[in-house]
Amino acid sequence: MSQRMTKIHLFGLVGLLLLLVGSYLGLFVAPPDRYMGDVQRIMYVHLPSAWNGMLCYLFAFGFAIASIWQHKPKWDALTVGAIEVGAVLNALLLIQGSIWARPTWGVWWDWDVRLTTSLIMFLLFAGVLALRSFVEDPNQRATWTAIATIVAFIDVPLVYFCVRWWRSLHQVQSTPDTVSSAMVMPLRLNSIAIFLLVIWMVAQRARLEMIRHQKEQVDEPARMATVGGLENV
Amino acid sequence: MTSAEQTTIAVRSVGLGKRFGRQWALAHCDLQVDAGQAVLLAGANGSGKTTLLRLIAGLYKPTQGQLTIFGNDPNRERMTCRQTLTLVGHDHYLYSQLTALETVQVWARLSGCEHSDDQLLDLLEEVDLRHWRNKRVGGFSAGMKKRLTLLRTRLEEPRLILLDEPFSALDTDGQKLIEDWVQRFKSAGKTLVVASHNLPRAARLCERAVFLKEGQIIWQGKATDMIQQLRLTS
Amino acid sequence: MKILRQTWAVVRKDLLLEWRGRSRILSVLLFGVVTLLLFSFAVGPDSVMLRTAAGGFLVLALLLSSTLSLSESFRVEQELRAIEGLLLLPVDPVALYYGKCLSNTFFLMLLAPVLTPVTLILYSVELDFAGFLTLFGLWTLAAAGLSAPGTLYAAMTSRLQSQDVLLPLLLFPLVIPVLMGSVKSVTLLLTGDPMSQIQSWTLLLASFAIIYWSLCGLLFPHAIEEGS
């Protein structure tokens, strides 16, 4: 295993350890929320998932621009890694949101602004992955993935504002975002933990994609000798 | 490349290669075509002739090697290169719902030609399609479609003309028409690269010939020598 | 300017082609009417509910019809590889994009004058002439917003299998701001706008259109050329 790959595994290891510590603190040490009680503890993974998911998509956007600029396979590999990890975090976010909403409001889904935007984001980037699966030529796949990623990412703020205006006419119920000081430590730990895990997972996924790319490479055939005459061709 | 070379070397490729998936359609292609020359590309189906022509037209990006068209890179300076060349290939680039006249009108408008309708009708006359000017292209035979597509060489006024199987799907009269057109291009000093299976006819038009096998050039020389060595008669 | 001239030439070509294939436009319009009917059956004959939902249903019918129109705009280019011929002329890909965008916007605009009266009749909604003009203006903005990414994605997916699935899958989540903006403004137009909110939604529609006409115009050459 190369030096670089060993260092990457450190990210994963430290991330996992921090996640264990942060989650322990969040579940057993931090005080319960004054109004919501223990249900609120889901915030310790919900908020870090949300922030890091968004960060993944931001990375994907950057990698996509690099992919169009430079046409190198590593940028495409990083783009798809960031999208896939972002989509996983996005999906987890939606599930966590439902788990929180059910005991709090009695419904699995209530069109909260951030959750609704997350659902649309998930569909946007899942669409990019779907497009990718239909393109065989690797160069075209890389370019089109990058284009779809850029287009999807630019849409996110538009979707957010749109949903916010749409919701503002209705009763506002949103996931809590004010955090008391006793809760900051586990939240911070988990955020950093998931960030480190994100780096590890994106690197692993990108590495897989590079291996796939290398498998697709075929060396140029040997140069054929020229012939003196075409009689026997 | 000096500016003098820019005008005297129409096509230059060094180590040019193109891979599709796991298949190398073209490899180790070293070719130089001087301005005003006519070169014949010969070889079996799948030998790389069409790939080479499409690389020259900038429709494909090379996997390997370098390529210049009158000194310009067709992938970096696409518009410049495409203005200097015309490709008449397997695809006819037509809209089946448009008539022949409407088709040349669209092409003329898009390439910035100032041709009047009368001038366009004269062009249709030259390829023996004037009578069909108001008929939809979708109903044309393959030969008629090919003759229509050939008109692009008159609308675009290119310095380099790429012809991919110009004689296929044409009867003897049609083939004679193509030959006459090509002779006129040559007299006008245009550079020609022709890929064809109809070697005797094509060799009459070209000074040089290049033989491809499995995506590589295995022979280059005079077109007449090729005909002799392959023991073909006109 | 050469690009403007080429853009206009592309628009003219598309208008002529669409005129030739006008039976197709009629089919798309009929499709729109059928969807309006289906929506009303989903809700039932409750006239109050239908009136409230009329704006939403109209916009949805337009959106669903739009994918048919957009995918056709590139099917005709792929049939005999005409689009490659255009690029070889050479037509600047940017001119090709904006020409196609303009003609696609126009074709989408054609849907509104037919589907709007059908909606008004089926859902028992009243609208005066000024209101009708406003609605048409809103729909023009929405059509522009749909065409920008729609043209880009139609160009890409027209070269793939499963184009009929991929185009809506990519487009629909993306144009949710257009959908929401149109639904809100049309509904306010049909049911009353006491707080003058139509302006804000119109601003959203316009912003979306401007952003995506710029962005997709930049990206289109990369989508259409190999190794760009």
Q: Per residue in C156-202, pLDDT tens?
A: 999 888 888 999 999 999 999 999 999 999 999 988 887 788 998 99
Nearest alpha-carbon partner for A111 in A58, A55, A177, A162: A162
Contact check, Cβ <8 Å, A162/C211: no
Chain B nearest C-alpha distance from C80 (Å): 6
Contact check, Cβ <8 Å, B110/C226: no
Chain A residue closest in CA terms to B227:
A230
Contacts A231 to B, Cβ<8 Å: 229-231
Residues B78, C225: Cα–Cα separation, whole Å: 10
pLDDT of residue A52: 95
Model ipTM value:
0.93
Residues B174, A136: Cα–Cα separation, whole Å: 39
What is the dihedral sign for C-alpha C45, C50, C56, C58? positive
> CB-CB: which of C170, C181, C204 is closest to A148?
C170
Q: CB atoms < 10 A from the CB of B8, how many?
A: 13
Which of C52, C146, C152, C156 to mutate: most A Cβ within 10 Å? C156
Nearest alpha-carbon partner for A186 in A194, A174, A175: A194
Chain A nearest C-alpha distance from B195 (Å): 17
Say which residues have a Cβ less than 8 Å from residue A142's Cβ, sequence separation at least 6: A67, A71, A73, A75, A76, A79
Distances (CA, A) of A15 to A23, A189, B125: 12, 9, 76
Contact pairs from chain A to chain B, CB under 8 Å: 51
Looking at domain B3-229, its CATH architecture is: 3-Layer(aba) Sandwich (3.40)
Nearest alpha-carbon partner for A136 in B1, B113, B158, C162: C162
Phi, psi of A2 (to 5 degrees): -70, 165
Q: Is residue A203, in this structure, part of any structural domain at all?
A: yes
Phi, psi of B212 (to 5 degrees): -110, 145
Residues B12, B188: Cα–Cα separation, whole Å: 21
Distances (CA, A) of B193 to A227, B33, C66: 22, 8, 44
Token readout for B122 is 């004269």
**E strand or H helix that includes residue C17:** helix C2-20
Q: Is residue A228, in this structure, part of any structural domain at all?
A: no
**E strand or H helix that includes residue B83:** helix B78-84
Residues A166, B109: Cα–Cα separation, whole Å: 47
Q: How far is CA B52 from the centre of its chain?
A: 11
Contact check, Cβ <8 Å, C176/A120: yes
**E strand or H helix that includes residue B5:** helix B3-8
Query: Which segments within chain A are labelled E, that is strand?
Result: none
**E strand or H helix that includes residue B193:** strand B191-195
Contact check, Cβ <8 Å, B211/A230: yes
Contact criterion met (CB below 8 Å) for A227 and B219: yes
Contact check, Cβ <8 Å, A221/B24: yes
Contact check, Cβ <8 Å, A139/B61: yes
Region C116-129: what's the mean pLDDT? Answer: 90
Contact check, Cβ <8 Å, A139/C184: no
Q: Domain ranges for chain B, please list them.
A: 3-229
**E strand or H helix that includes residue C61:** helix C47-78
Paired sense of beta strands B216-222 and B208-213, if any:
antiparallel
pLDDT above 70 coverage of chain B, percent: 96
Amino acid letter, B140: F
Burial C83-119 (b: 16+ CB within 10 A, else e): bbbbbbbbbbbebbbbbbbbbbbbbbbebbebbbebb
pLDDT of residue A231: 79
Residues C12, A3: Cα–Cα separation, whole Å: 60
Q: How confident is the model at residue C151 (pLDDT cuts 50, 70, 90)?
A: very high
- Domain at A91, CATH number: 1.20.120
Lowest mean pLDDT among B108-117, C101-110, C173-182: B108-117
pLDDT over threshold 90, residue C219: yes
- pLDDT tens over chain A, length 233 residues: 567 667 889 999 999 999 999 988 888 888 887 777 788 888 889 999 999 999 999 999 999 999 999 989 999 999 999 999 999 999 999 999 898 888 888 889 888 888 899 999 999 999 999 999 999 889 999 999 999 999 999 999 999 988 888 877 554 555 555 667 777 888 899 999 999 999 999 999 999 999 999 998 889 999 998 888 887 77
Contact check, Cβ <8 Å, B96/C80: yes
> CB-CB: which of A146, A151, A163 is closest to C174?
A151
Chain A residue closest in CA terms to B214:
A224
Residues A218, B200: Cα–Cα separation, whole Å: 37
Contact check, Cβ <8 Å, C16/B107: no
pTM comes to 0.92
Chain C residue closest in CA terms to B158:
C89
Q: What's the structural domain count of chain A?
A: 1
Amino acid letter, C3: I
pLDDT of residue B2: 59
Nearest alpha-carbon partner for C108 in C187, C28, C204: C28
Amino acid letter, A227: V
Contacts A229 to B, Cβ<8 Å: 219, 229
Length of chain B: 234
Residues on A contacting C at a C-beta cutoff of 8 Å = 68, 71, 120, 123-124, 127-128, 130-131, 134-135, 139-140, 143-144, 146-148, 150-152, 154-155, 158-159, 161-163, 165-166
Region B133-151: what's the mean pLDDT? Answer: 92
Which of A57, A70, A165 to mutate: most C Cβ within 10 Å? A165
Domain limits for position C212: 2-224
SS (H, E, C) B101-146: HHHHHHHHHHCCCCCCHHHHHHHHHHCCCHHHCCCEHHHCCHHHHH
Helix axes C163-174, A138-168, angle to 10 degrees: 40
Chain A nearest C-alpha distance from B133 (Å): 39
Chain B nearest C-alpha distance from A204 (Å): 25
Burial B138-175 (b: 16+ CB within 10 A, else e): eebeebbbbbbbbbbbbbbebbbbbbbbbbeebeeebb
pLDDT of residue B156: 82
Residues A147, A64: Cα–Cα separation, whole Å: 7
Q: Is residue A138, in this structure, part of any structural domain at all?
A: yes
Which of B63, B86, B110, B161 to mutate: most C Cβ within 10 Å? B110
Chain B nearest C-alpha distance from C84 (Å): 7
Which of B106, B140, B152 to mutate: most C Cβ within 10 Å? B106
Q: CB atoms < 10 A from the CB of A177, how many?
A: 9
SS (H, E, C) A37-90: EHHHHHHHHHHHHHHHHHHHHHHHHHHHHHHHHHCCHHHHHHHHHHHHHHHHHH
Chain C nearest C-alpha distance from B20 (Å): 12
Q: Is residue A175, in this structure, part of any structural domain at all?
A: yes
Distances (CA, A) of B92 to B149, C91, C169: 6, 16, 32
Domain limits for position A83: 3-211
